Amino acid sequence: MAASVFEEAKIDTHCHVLDPARWPFAPDVAYHPSGQEIAPLEQYLQVMDAYAIGHALLVGPNSGYATDNRCLLDALERGQGRFKGVAVVPLEIGRAELVELRARGVVGIAFNAALLGTAFYAQTAGLLRQLAELDMLLSLQVQADQMVELRPLVEHSGVRVLVDHCGRPSTSAPGGMDQPGFQALLAMARSGRVGVKLSGLQKFSETGPPFDDARPYLQALLQTYTLDACMWASDWPFLRAPQRLDVGPLLRGIERLVPSVTDRRRLLWDTPKRWLGF
């Protein structure tokens, strides 16, 4: 039996590779990561080795690269099976291009309504149907009550969905967990096609580490989605984080949240392995 959460086998379901020395950032993106946000593959491989991360889902960032997936595809190739990818693509992308991305290790497409707004994705029903037909995932990032508007679009498409960062509820909203966006997310568990990444707490917590105000939301997601549709992610290298973060304390938080070694095996390994096809 593993001595601690650090030694337990795990899959990181949301992290980024940013290597502007090899793959320069696009000039017209809203944010250029810098300093400790720069995240070449070689550095993330050290993180993986330090924390027994066997596999990872590399998510193409809107920051730095937007729809330029060269850095992502290079990392997938060099990973030799350790990685799957989520790409940011033009919304008018064709089926042949999706098939090519899938052949190179991309298992899904990212929608970031938290950054771009819900209206940006209003005309994507055709793209979502193609993803469903190709058995590719939608990696969906929303915040506050955006899920209320996007839920019908997503559910009607039949696509499998991974919701980033607990749906980014507002921990200071007057209704608490009764806020419409979080209730919509909980209701989507019934479809069996939606999973949730327990991650990105810094994106919605008001109190900061150790994110005590986020704990009720994490517990509600675990109870509703169960360990068959919840998975862990680091969100490394913590783009635009309001405070310094490290993977170790985040894993300790998961250990406190899910004290059973058997249950953590499902959260950290079995469920993401099944969802992502490792």
Q: For 223-245, what is each residue's pLDDT tens digit?
A: 999 999 999 999 999 999 999 99
CA 81, distance to chain mean position in Å, is: 19
Question: Which tokens go with 116?
Answer: 């771009």
Question: Which tokens go with 170?
Answer: 């507002």
pLDDT for 166: 98
Q: Could you tell me if 105 and 84 are in contact, meaning their C-beta atoms sit under 8 angstroms apart?
A: yes
What's the CA gap between 202 and 148, in Å, rounded? 22
Q: Could you tell me if 229 and 194 are in contact, meaning their C-beta atoms sit under 8 angstroms apart?
A: yes
Q: Which structural domains are found in the chain, ordered by start?
A: 5-276 (3.20.20.140)
pLDDT for 92: 97
What's the CA gap between 218 and 43, in Å, rounded? 29
- Residue 24 CB coordination number (10 Å): 13
3-state helix, strand, coil split of the chain in percent (to 5) is: 45, 15, 40
pLDDT for 174: 86
| Strand order across the 230-232 sheet | 10-15, 53-59, 83-87, 106-112, 137-141, 160-163, 194-198, 230-232
pLDDT for 30: 82
Three-class DSSP category at 15: strand
**Taking Cα atoms as reference points, which of 136, 194, 135 lies closest to residue 166?**
194
Three-class DSSP category at 135: coil
Entry pTM:
0.97
Using alpha carbons only, what angle is made at residue 82 by residues 81 and 86, rounded to the nearest 5 degrees? 90
Instruction: Show Cβ contacts of residue 162 under 8 Å, excluding neighbours closer than 6 positions.
Output: 13, 108, 137, 138, 139, 140, 194, 195, 196, 197, 231, 275
Low-confidence ranges of the chain (pLDDT < 50): 1
